[in-house]
Amino acid sequence: MALETGRSGRGDANVAAILTWVIPGAGHVYLGAPLFGIAAFLVVTGLYLLGIRLSEGMAFEFLQTDLRSPIAPILTPEVGNLSAVIWHMRTYGFGPSFPRPWPAHIDLGTFLTACSGLLNACLACKAHFDARVPQGMHSKKPSPGLLVLAGWILPGLGHWLQGRRLRGAIVFVVVAGFVVLGSVLADGANLDRERHFYYWSGQFLAGAPAWILEVLHGHALVRADIRYVDAGLAFGAVGGLLNILAWLDVYSVAEREGLKHLEPEARPAPEVVA
């Protein structure tokens, strides 16, 4: 993608995206949009800090002892906000060696830290695209980062907003259908991050269908063996992972269309001095 970077762009697209991944908003500061960069930093980092406060930094204590390692967070949504996840691991890690009660709002807290990671990934998409828009121009089409964000929040919405409605409907049916079917098969046990840490991470990518189901059915007690729990976990996680393919499709089309439809930025009219 970044190989198409023209010299007329605002900067190197890969540098902008990587800077954003490392420090939210840094890519836009690099591209000469410091106000947007600082605002983005405040929102993304604020979300992570709020999540840490609610969960008391205990998100990675959900992991079973044999799964704990310094690279364990790589497969979590939080890794989208790299500096935050490194700080999180260094400050809180896996907690003390003895079990302790979870804080009252740990589920909401870990949900917010995960949201921060995904939001920053969308911001990196935006930085990657913005870097290739020449100075003084802007695209008439919606930002690829915004469409990817829409496709995360509601599977298929990114396609729908692009006018590819049949494709959007099919994406929604497949992704949401997998999460619903998985939840039925696993009796809702798949929806709890404490029980199935990594499967939850996959499922989280399916957006609102997974989040709503988690609120409604995600934290019930498991009182008996669930016969098809493995199949349920597979369906839920595969649904979320397939949504990544949908985002890539949305991004590539939005990128192509966005760079084709550029127009000069509106500037304020010069004051006429009498």
Residues lying near other proteins in the complex (CB under 8 A) are found at: 164, 166-167, 170-171, 174, 177-178, 181, 185, 231, 234-235, 238-239, 242, 245-246, 248-249, 252-253
Query: To the nearest whole angstrom, how small is the minimum distance from the Cβ of residue 193 to other proteins?
Result: 22
| Closer by beta carbon to other proteins, 207 or else 239 | 239
Compute how many other C-beta atoms are within 10 angstroms of the C-beta atom of residue 107: 19
Query: To the nearest whole angstrom, how small is the minimum distance from the Cβ of residue 94 to other proteins?
Result: 33
Query: To the nearest whole angstrom, how small is the minimum distance from the Cβ of residue 181 to other proteins?
Result: 7
| Closer by beta carbon to other proteins, 45 or else 243 | 243
H helices present in the chain, as ranges: 13-22, 26-30, 34-55, 82-91, 106-130, 144-153, 157-161, 165-185, 197-204, 208-217, 229-260
Give which of 64, 138, 144, 58 is closest to 93, Cα–Cα: 58
- Report the C-alpha gap between 165 and 183 in whole angstroms: 26
Query: To the nearest whole angstrom, how small is the minimum distance from the Cβ of residue 185 to other proteins?
Result: 8
| Closer by beta carbon to other proteins, 31 or else 259 | 259
| Closer by beta carbon to other proteins, 215 or else 248 | 248
Q: Which residue has tokens 């494709």?
A: 167
| Closer by beta carbon to other proteins, 51 or else 156 | 156
- Judge residue 262's burial from the number of C-beta atoms within 10 Å of its C-beta, 0-12 exposed, 13-18 middle, 19 or more buried: middle
